[in-house]
Structure 1
Amino acid sequence: MLLRGLGVALVVAFALIIVVPLMIVLLASLKTTPQFIQDPLGWPESFSLANYTALFAKQPMLTYFGNSVFVTLFTVSGELLVAGMVAYGIIRTGRKTGGWMFGLFAAGLMVPSQVNMIPIYELVHRLGWSNSLAGLSLVTIAMLLPLSVFMLGGFMRTLPGELFEAGAIDGASEWRLLLRIALPLSAPYFAATACFLFVIVWNELLFPMLLLTGKDKLTLPLAMLQFRGEFVTDYPMLLTGVVVASIPIIAVFVLLQRFFISGAMAGSMKG
């Protein structure tokens, strides 16, 4: 009984840690700047959507939103395509060689992105990809490849090897085994990885700040910096932008929640 009560208390405490900051952000987006300065944590005097109206009226938020959607969809889809083929190749190469290859990609997780900023910037500049959303997407795909291969490779190792052996005996090529066996069985794993990647790419700030210079190419996280001045920061507008930018993440998780949970459970329960 004591352990059960302790568990409930921990769950409630964890929920409060998550919910309270979200409520503060949501309520702040409904305040005016004077109200926020006077009482940043209090209840708004009156509920008003003026900040949301002003956000889209004063800033080309639809352009920023479209840029983020393009970069995120391009990056996540390209990442899943490349990482899926690499992960399949690793599990089909053999235990020893595949283990070395998997370890090589896992080692890439230990290299911080900030270490590669200067050579990446130089390479992108020489390739003519500066201030390009497609160039930003390709760079992000390359930087996230170790993480994606690590996740998908770990998931695909749970697939029964007998299925591939039976398909090979029936004369199926590796491409056919990938398309007809590996990918359908790995759909929950790909959905779980897609959710994870979507959050990372949607909230990415470092590489957009490094590679994008034109105002018409800004992504949402980078556009939020416009509300931060040298001496004054418009926190209500900034937090309003945070709320708007969070809506797609919530929607994606709600749509893929079933696949995310099944993929996570499958990966954790397999021996």
Structure 2
Amino acid sequence: MFKVFAVSQQGASQPLAFQSTVFPGGEVQVSVELDAPAEALRLHAHLPDAQAVMTLLMLSDALRRAYPGRPLALHLPYVPYARQDRVANPGEALSAKVFCQLINAQGYSRVVIQDPHSDVVTALLDRVEVEDPLPALRRVLERVGPAALVAPDAGARKRVLKLARELGCEAVLADKVRDTQSGRISGTQVTGPLPALPLLVVDDICDGGRTFTELAKALRERQREQGLDAPLHLYVTHGIFSHGLEPLLAHYQQVFSRNNWTADTRCQLV
């Protein structure tokens, strides 16, 4: 969940030991190794829950006290609350802003993130750097071979079109269909004909996975209409997989991610 590195003047990194304790009342305490040769510090954090956020704050404070004046960089692949980037109803908190203000208050020398889901997050975070998504996607394509990239919904369309253009791939567009009475999602619609290629669905986050199972059904139906039978693959930057991989692997030949939140090794890390 956390890794800490001491960085030398030459740029070499070595792991820095630390201990974390949770008391019976739920309070978190950490202690870090002292006197390591460090010109700078680098902290890698995976924050799946609120306790992890508190541990990050404690760890950051402990490092600053143990190594005063050293720059401390944060590598935070998944930004919690990025999906809550607007107030939908009166009385709600603007959660993304609250979290980003908490990170900004730590004064990190830089904050390195991956696919933040929302441009609001990059606007709110100080000294933020977004990792280039292309190298990971290229690694996926090396494994699956030539494929068309699929945008699962309108929110992913701009990003997937840009990635497809930069990689020289064809792009397929899909969108969620909503019931006009209830506003609930009733299905998925694929726009236009499919190419005679394997299809790689690309998105930033997979949580429960229903978006992707419904999309797979729509893609298979369109393939049947066109007399095609190419494999489907799925790549997400952040694999939360809160319902497990089983529902996804029932539809997709392979599932790839940069960050697998589960212990299921059937998700291939890239």
* Bin for the TM-score computed over the shorter chain: under 0.3
TM-score for both structures, normalised by structure 1: 0.21
TM-score for both structures, normalised by structure 2: 0.21
**Counting helix residues as a fraction of each chain, which structure ranks higher?**
1
Q: Which has the higher contact order (CA 8 A, sep 6+)?
A: 1
**Counting strand residues as a fraction of each chain, which structure ranks higher?**
2
